[in-house]
Amino acid sequence: MSAEKRNFVDEFESPDFYALDDLLTEEHKLIRSSVRDFVKKEITPYIEDWAEKNHFPEEIVKKFGEVGAFGPTIPTEYGGGGLDYTSYGLIMQEVERGDSGMRSTASVQGSLVMYPIYAYGSEEQKKKYLPKLASGEMLGCFGLTEPNHGSNPSGMETHFKDKGDHYLLNGAKMWISNSPYADVAVVWAKNEEGRIHGLIVERGMEGFSTPETHGKWSLRASCTGELVFSDVKVPKENLLPGKSGLGAPMGCLDKARYGIAWGAIGAAMDCYDSAKRYSLERVQFGKPIGAFQLVQKKLSEMLTEITKAQLLNWKLGKMMDEGKATTSQISMAKRNSVEVALNIAREARQIHGGMGITGEYPMMRHMMNLESVVTYEGTHDIHLLILGAEITGIPAFK
């Protein structure tokens, strides 16, 4: 499908009201500016068209590989970037400033496919898959959610049996980002004792299919589908040997949720930037609308929330580097950023008046995307309950 290039100049600049750039190294700033340039060249001129046409631009996968968006924290010996978590966060922020669906592609590949292979895989698995995933030669997906088990993945029904020289995998996964285009899937399934394990399933294995999910009004430039396993023979060497139990997929989710905490603030910054510019250009009652107190209130509150979230994310990045960040700290940041971004998208949309509902401006697309982001990787309420359990010591999930 050909993509229509929008005729506009992307002048995005991120707000830095508290001089938080002082907390970044020169390398961080260089990484941010190279990904920002990439997004301005390869994503923002086309994204409204892709989203409108519900088109996943397959060619973006190799380009993400070239710019280093896949597996930035994975060591260089496996093709990753060997970078710290602040760098990873900044990359996700810039990519999601372009579009949450594009960030989905990148964060699934890095945190949910490369990370489990790196952290739980054998040396052979790491050498076989990681360099190709890092370069974008291969695309991966992560299968945890099932039709009957979303917020409670421990109830999963997908299972495998030991058949001597291979495993026999049966079941189905739903709502899987990248699945229709993925070359490999990291799939979580129960063995005969009911213990959860990760398996690497490759496209082309008999009995494995990836039907696309249609009718989404959100993340329209990201491709979502199912994973269906009907007596799939999975070679024994494809089981991830390093970790089992629910903690294995949850450990990957910690990394991906961290990326979303930064990413959603990228979307918020894009909406704020657009609203600020529009408020100075649009004249009503003989003045730019930015001269009215109610518009200034909206802009001031947006900047305040972005600044608070930037600080939270930066500190979380430090704790990630030190290996000290807890699941509930990550939940707080993911939940906060998505809520901030959704509120800012709505307020920025209002500042644009009627024009705000068109694809001339990014808010409606961000707003619709964020309705998925608030649900996936743990819903808004599940993150609230993770925090509630941390505070009280009483899990209220069940």
Please give the positions annotated as active site.
377
CB-nearer residue toward ligand FAD: 176 or 268: 176
What is the DSSP track for 15-33? --TT-GGGGS-HHHHHHHH
DSSP string, 131-164: HHHHHTSS-EEEE--BTTBSS-GGG---EEEE-S
Cβ 349 to ligand FAD, closest distance in Å? 21
The tally of CA atoms less than 13 A away on the side-chain side of residue 282 is 18
Say whether residue 328 binds ligand TGC (CB under 6 A).
no
Part in contact with ligand TGC (CB under 6 A); list of ranges 68-76, 138-146, 265-273, 287-295: 138-146
Nearer residue to ligand TGC within complex by CB, 142 or 278: 142
CA-to-CA distance for 84 and 81, rounded, in angstroms? 9
How many of the other CB atoms lie within 10 Å of CB of 13?
A: 10
Q: Which residues bind ligand FAD (CB under 6 A)?
A: 108, 141-145, 150-151, 175-177, 219, 224, 372, 375-377, 379, 381-382, 385, 397
In angstroms, give the least distance from the CB of 390 to ligand FAD. Answer: 15
Q: 């390398």: which residue's tokens?
A: 27
Closest to 275 in 3D by CA, of 374, 367, 372, 373? 367
The single residue among 119, 205, 368, 382 that binds ligand TGC, judged by CB under 6 A, is: 382
C-alpha 376/C-alpha 279 separation (Å) is 33
CA 355 → CA 213, 218, 346, distances in Å? 30, 20, 13
Stretch that binds ligand TGC, among 16-24, 39-47, 102-110, 357-365 (CB under 6 A): 102-110
Of 42-50, 86-94, 103-111, 347-355, which part binds ligand TGC (CB under 6 A)?
A: 103-111
**368 is an interface residue for ligand TGC by CB under 6 A:** no
107 binds ligand TGC, rule: CB under 6 A: yes
> Which CB sits closer to ligand TGC, 14 or 107?
107
CA distance 91 to 7: 25
Number of residues that bind ligand TGC (CB under 6 A): 26
CB of 243 to ligand TGC, least distance (A): 9
